[in-house]
Amino acid sequence: MSEDRLHALYRTYGPALYARCRQILGDDAAAADAAQETFLRLHRQLARAPDAHHALAWIYRVATNYCLNQARDRRRRAVPVGELPEAPGVDAERLLEDRDLARRLITTAPPKAAEVAWLHLADGMTQDEVAQVLGISRRTVVNRLADFHRHAHTLAGRPPS
């Protein structure tokens, strides 16, 4: 019975889960590995799985936590990269700097603040949606966003406003 439920979850949410992992990790192979690992984790916790109404939020939470940990671990393992392609102007260079800053902020922030920041800032979820996905109060979302804001200012060497 639990195998049938896992297969149903995979058929229903597998593509969305892969897209989620791809968005966080920025790599097809890493996203495929993360999606597979997420479903392995779900399989181990299937007895505690919420009903179908809350399943997507639960799956997103497991995947997001796993992917953020992978991104943080990847950052700690200094992996040399090949040469960057020629940037056709300052805008492309600025975009790369912004992405690098965003990754550093997310991967070095406290995990709970990073999770909320990713959902709200990167995924564009409202604070209410983030609260629902994570199973926390909206006030907790606001507090964790404030923690992330303080972290960002500290990393940038500026006092929080």
What would you measure as the largest C-alpha separation in the chain, in angstroms?
Answer: 57
**What integer pLDDT is reported at residue 32 of this predicted model?**
92
Local confidence pLDDT in tens for the 161 residues of the chain: 467 877 887 888 888 889 889 888 888 999 999 999 988 888 887 777 667 667 778 888 888 888 888 887 776 665 555 554 554 554 555 555 666 677 778 788 888 898 888 888 877 788 988 888 888 999 999 999 999 889 888 876 666 55
pTM over 0.85: no
**What integer pLDDT is reported at residue 147 of this predicted model?**
92
Is the domain spanning 91-160 CATH 1.20.1440? The answer is no
Is the domain spanning 1-84 CATH 3.40.50? The answer is no
Among the listed residues 96, 93, 117, the one whose alpha carbon sits nearest the alpha carbon of residue 105? 117
Domains of the chain by residue range: 1-84, 91-160
Q: What is the DSSP string of 89-157?
A: SHHHHHHHHHHHHHHHHHHHS-HHHHHHHIIIIIS---HHHHHHHHT--HHHHHHHHHHHHHHHHHHHT
